[in-house]
């Protein structure tokens, strides 16, 4: 009987690897520098594959490494079928994909379909061609309002601040929901569809296992481009209802892409970066004939508080469950403040981040780990003004994303903490001295380190693929704490308060973010901590 169950599970995981995969986000620019120019690159990532395999993740998601003038650090793509020389070459990409597979790691790459770079051949042609021709029909060009067309065509704001329209010298305006160097494509044009299908095929043929679809909620705009009617429209990872995001028409594109993905062997996946007003709207992106996963930003934005976490977990599972999809969980990425800092920073922030990791990894579905979170890295808040580069900073200096993109430390000492080979130039963002004790090397031999906690959690999770899709069953727990079981044999308890909390002993301790005290069948959970328990019966 047990044997049979195991066989089923094995089939399930090879066939549908993504349903409970742990996917590690590599922000290529800041992960590892292979050639010593101070900027991370593909050979750097390749050299660190053994680290990722040992960490125990299932897949990597690589942020854009395509040819780009880097106005938005690669999210402004000039050539979707080539590698920017800063990051290496196409041969390096091929070698990385093959090597990752040899290490048992799948590879997901970013695709950026909402906009191109203003240096993309299509946009250059559009600028040169002048108003009215087919070259402009690939983007969203309009005449302006007011006398002489001096006002933008509507009141839309860019996510990075300021109007979402820029004017060319010939008088026409073009739409850019992000930076002016990122003109929005016109997805009503069949040529745009054909081009992206060809780009997807290009990378699928090279062997990638899937795509993270950038701004997957943005490609289709409301008919007639109506005004929003107010300012302060949308922020990065916003949930507002606006005529340029989350329009029903985007789902047709995702359906076409799903058909394409399914035409390749081996469960290639699509992951939507979609900002939707509610978990229910988000679930539409992961219907059976659309994307496989969508980032769950509702989980990411939940403050450190028990009731809020329970509510978002329940709602996420319920809405994803309605469409038969796994939920996903994410705490940090390259667009938001690192969660150690969001949860209060310092010792308390780190305690909470460690506990959040055990909570996240105990939930059914797929989890995303942003590079450096396994080291407990905080946001770097004191980068000198002159090194700040993020275009979002122009909107609001407090909102810049440079502080979560600082290169990660590999060694405790030495120049730039081992980010690159000996003689490496200054990293593109300076690394604070406080990163030394948080380096991979410094944490590797320490069983109590955050890195060891992640390694151990991922090992246990892997061993117990049994976690599978089994939903959590909530146990009675004192205020400010969460306790749930997953199947018969496993329980997780989380104390989200700054005080110890007592509850009946749920089982034998497997792993703890901070050691609890156990006495006479009662466990006293440490403040801001999570514990995994083995329960009798399995
Ligand atoms: C990416 C950002 C990027 C934006 C525009 C996103 O949501 O994650 O880093 O600035 O898309 O491409």
Domain positions in the chain: 9-112+190-223+239-460, 121-175, 470-534
Cα–ligand 1 centroid distance for 70 (angstroms)? 12
Q: Give the span between the Cα atoms of 283 and 296, in whole angstroms.
A: 10
The answer to whether the CB of 110 is under 6 A from ligand 1 is: no
Helix (H) or strand (E) holding 425: none
Contact 57, 458 (CB under 8 A): yes
390 in Cβ contact with 512 (< 8 Å):
no
- The protein residue with its alpha carbon nearest to ligand 1, atom 4, reads 75
In 27-89, which residue ranges form alpha helices assigned H by DSSP? 42-47, 49-55
The predicted pLDDT at position 227 comes to 98
Q: Is 73 in the pocket of ligand 1 (CB under 6 A)?
A: no
Q: Pocket of ligand 1, candidates 71, 115, 214, 271: which has the most ligand atoms within 8 Å of its Cβ, to mutate?
A: 214
Rg (CA), the chain: 23
- What is the number of the ligand 1 atom nearest to the C-alpha of 75? 12
Helix (H), strand (E) at residue 508: strand 508-512
**How confident is the model over 254-296, as pLDDT tens digits?**
999 999 999 999 999 999 999 998 888 999 999 999 999 999 9
Task: Say how many Å lie between the CA of residue 443 and the centre of ligand 1.
Answer: 31
In this prediction, what percent of the chain has a pLDDT beyond 90?
89
Residue 80: which of 108, 107, 106, 113 has the closest Cα?
113
pLDDT surpasses 80 at 25:
yes
Task: Please say if the pLDDT value at position 234 is more than 90.
Answer: no
Q: What is the mean pLDDT of residues 180-208?
A: 98
CA of 178 from ligand 1 middle (Å) equals 8
Q: Classify residue 263 as exposed, middle or buried by CB count within 10 Å of its CB (0-12, 13-18, 19+).
A: exposed
Q: Which DSSP helix (H) or strand (E) runs through 304?
A: none
Which residues sit opposite 394 in a β-bridge?
none
- Give yes or no for residue 335 CB within 6 A of ligand 1: yes
Handedness of CA 361, 287, 278, 476 (dihedral sign): negative
Nearest CA to ligand 1 atom 3: 75
Q: Which of 72, 111, 399 to mutate to test the pocket of ligand 1 (most atoms within 8 A of CB)?
A: 72
How many A from CA of 215 to the centre of ligand 1? 7
How far apart CA 442 and CA 513 sit, in angstroms, is 18
Judge if the beta carbon of residue 72 lies within 6 A of ligand 1. Answer: yes
- C-beta of 77 in contact with ligand 1 (< 6 A): no
| 157 Cβ contact list (under 8 Å, min separation 6) | 163, 164, 228, 231, 232, 233, 234
Structure tokens at 256: 């076409």
Which of 64, 114, 218, 236 for mutating ligand 1's site (highest number of atoms within 8 Å of CB)?
236
CB 374 less than 6 A from any atom of ligand 1: no
Fold of 470-534: Immunoglobulin-like (2.60.40)
Per-residue model confidence as pLDDT tens digits over 460-512:
999 886 567 789 999 999 999 999 999 878 999 999 999 999 999 999 999 99
Could you identify the residue written with the tokens 């942020």?
A: 63
Ligand 1: centre distance to CA 448 (Å): 35
Tell me how many degrees the CA angle 228-215-399 measures, rounded to the nearest 5: 75
Distance 124 CA to ligand 1 centre (A): 22
- For residue 27, report the distance from its CA to the centre of ligand 1, in Å: 12
Of 488, 487, 486, 516, residue with least CA distance to 504: 516
- pLDDT at position 235 is 84
What does the alpha-carbon distance between residue 183 and residue 192 come to, in Å, rounded to a whole number? 13
pLDDT of residue 47: 98
- Identify how many contiguous H helices and E strands the chain contains and give both numbers: 14, 21
Out of 118, 184, 214, 246, which one is annotated catalytic?
214
Place of tokens 């900002």: 275
Examine the residue annotation and report whether 273 is marked as an active-site residue of this protein.
Answer: yes
Q: Model-level pTM?
A: 0.96
Token pair in block for residue 327: 């939920």
Backbone angles phi, psi at 485, to 5 degrees: -110, 160
Here the tokens at position 513 are: 């973010």
pLDDT in tens, 129-157: 999 999 999 999 999 999 999 999 999 99
Question: What is the greatest pairwise CA distance in the chain?
Answer: 82
User: Architecture of domain 9-112+190-223+239-460 in CATH?
Assistant: Alpha-Beta Barrel (3.20)
Least confident of 9-23, 342-356, 453-467, 511-525: 9-23
Q: Is 178 in the pocket of ligand 1 (CB under 6 A)?
A: yes
Ligand 1: atom nearest CA of 72 is 10
Q: What is the pLDDT of residues 353-394, one digit of tens each?
A: 999 999 999 999 999 999 999 999 999 999 999 999 899 887
Handedness of CA 194, 195, 198, 204 (dihedral sign): negative
- The token duo for 50 is 């053994």
Ligand 1 near 469 CB (within 6 A): no
Residues 319, 286: contact at Cβ < 8 Å?
no
Q: Is 214 a catalytic residue?
A: yes
Catalytic residue among 84, 118, 273, 290: 273
Element (H, E) at 496: none
Q: Is the dihedral of CA 402, 405, 409, 415 positive or negative?
A: negative
In sequence order, what E strands does 56-206 have?
59-62, 66-67, 79-83, 106-111, 141-142, 165-167, 173-175
Distance 399 CA to ligand 1 centre (A): 14
Region 150-169 average pLDDT: 96
Q: What is the pLDDT at residue 466? A: 54
* 113 CA → ligand 1 middle, Å: 11
527 three-class SS:
coil
Ligand 1 closest atom vs CA 334: 9
Query: Which among 76, 178, 216, 274 is the best mutation to test ligand 1's pocket, defined by most ligand atoms within 8 Å of the CB?
Result: 178
| Whole-number Å distance between alpha carbons of 386 and 372 | 24
pLDDT digits 0-9 by tens, 421-463: 999 999 999 999 999 999 999 999 999 999 999 999 999 999 8
Domain 121-175 superfamily per CATH: Oligo-1,6-glucosidase; Domain 2 (3.90.400.10)
Ligand 1 in contact with 528 (CB < 6 A)? no
């Amino acid at each position: 009987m047990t044997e049979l169950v195991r066989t089923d599970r094995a089939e399930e995981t090879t066939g549908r690897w993504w349903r409970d995969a742990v996917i590690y986000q590599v922000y290529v620019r800041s992960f590892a520098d292979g050639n010593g120019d101070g900027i991370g690159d593909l050979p750097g990532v390749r050299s660190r594959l053994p680290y990722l395999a040992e960490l125990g993740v299932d897949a990597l998601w690589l942020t854009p490494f395509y040819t780009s003038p880097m106005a938005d650090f690669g999210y402004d793509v000039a050539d979707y079928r080539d590698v920017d020389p800063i990051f290496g070459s196409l041969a390096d990409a091929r070698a990385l994909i093959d090597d990752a597979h040899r290490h048992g790691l799948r590879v997901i790459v970013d695709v950026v379909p909402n906009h191109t770079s203003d240096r993309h051949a299509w946009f250059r042609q559009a600028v040169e061609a002048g108003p009215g021709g087919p070259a402009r029909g690939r983007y969203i060009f309009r005449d302006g309002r007011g006398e002489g067309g001096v006002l933008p065509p509507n009141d839309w704001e860019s996510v990075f601040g300021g109007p979402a329209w820029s004017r060319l010298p010939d008088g026409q305006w073009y739409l850019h929901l992000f930076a002016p160097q990122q003109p929005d494509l016109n997805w009503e044009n069949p040529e745009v569809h054909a081009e992206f299908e060809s780009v997807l095929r290009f990378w699928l043929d090279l062997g990638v296992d899937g795509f993270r679809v950038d701004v997957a909620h943005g490609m289709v705009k409301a008919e007639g481009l109506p005004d929003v009617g107010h300012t302060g429209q949308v922020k990065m990872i916003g949930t507002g209802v606006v005529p340029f995001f989350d329009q029903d028409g985007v789902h047709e594109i995702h359906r076409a892409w799903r058909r394409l993905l399914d035409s390749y062997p081996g469960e290639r996946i699509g992951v939507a970066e979609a900002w939707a007003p509610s978990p229910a709207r988000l679930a539409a992106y992961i219907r059976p004939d659309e994307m496989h996963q969508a980032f769950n930003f509702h989980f990411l934005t939940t403050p450190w508080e028990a009731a809020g976490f329970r509510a978002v977990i329940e709602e996420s599972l319920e809405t994803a469950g309605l469409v038969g999809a796994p939920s996903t969980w994410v705490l940090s990425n390259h667009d938001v403040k690192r969660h150690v800092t969001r949860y209060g920073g310092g010792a308390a922030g780190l305690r909470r981040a460690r506990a959040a990791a055990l909570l996240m990894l105990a939930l059914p579905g797929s989890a995303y780990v942003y590079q450096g979170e396994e080291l407990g890295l905080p946001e770097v808040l004191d980068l000198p003004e002159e090194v700040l580069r993020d275009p979002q900073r122009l909107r609001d200096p407090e909102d810049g994303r440079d502080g979560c993109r600082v290169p990660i430390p590999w060694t405790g000492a030495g120049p730039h903490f081992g980010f690159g080979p000996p003689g490496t130039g200054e990293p593109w963002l300076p690394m604070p001295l406080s990163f030394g004790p948080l380096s991979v090397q410094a944490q590797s031999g320490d069983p109590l380190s955050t890195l060891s906690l992640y390694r151990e959690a991922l090992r246990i999770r892997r061993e117990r693929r049994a976690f599978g899709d089994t939903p959590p069953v909530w146990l009675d727990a004192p205020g400010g704490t969460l306790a749930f079981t997953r199947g018969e044999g496993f329980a997780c308890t989380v104390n989200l308060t700054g005080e110890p909390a007592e509850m009946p002993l749920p089982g034998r301790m497997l792993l703890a973010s901070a050691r609890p005290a156990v006495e006479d069948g009662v466990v006293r959970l440490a403040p801001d901590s999570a514990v995994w328990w083995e329960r009798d019966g399995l």
